[in-house]
Amino acid sequence: MVNSLSHLDALTAVVRFTEQQENAYSALIHFAQDKVVYTLTREDLAYVLQRVLSLDIAIDELELWAGLLEIRGDIDHRQIEGALYALANPEQMGSLTLEKVRTLQTLIE
């Protein structure tokens, strides 16, 4: 099967946890990370946190998601750098709970 996602579409699928997310991971292997293609916003983070609070996304998935986005060179995450770090490093910041996700969501709004 040929993956027809563009670089931007693949990043968007991963960032927003869309139905195309699995295909997006396969597509991203083929794209360079030497320039920013997607800017991660507070709105993106708020959307994902709300999905976690709605139990659509597991806390473990949130942690993996944050770690992936934090290291990608094609995503500018400066707007939410501190929040992303906290989500990606629960061993340093304390384990993630729904209450902490709720608090973080309030802080970024």
Q: Kindly give, in sequence order, each residue whose CB lies less than 8 Å from that of residue 64, ignoring residues fewer than 6 positions away.
A: none
- What are the residue ranges in the chain where pLDDT is below 50? 1-2
Q: Three-state SS for 37?
A: coil
**Distance between terminal CA atoms of the chain?**
41
List the domain range (segments joined by +) for residue 96: 33-108
94 domain residue, yes or no: yes
C-alpha distances (whole Å) from 83 to each of 63, 77, 108 are 11, 10, 9
Q: How many domains does the chain have?
A: 1
16 domain residue, yes or no: no
Confidence at residue 93, expressed as pLDDT on a 0 to 100 scale: 72
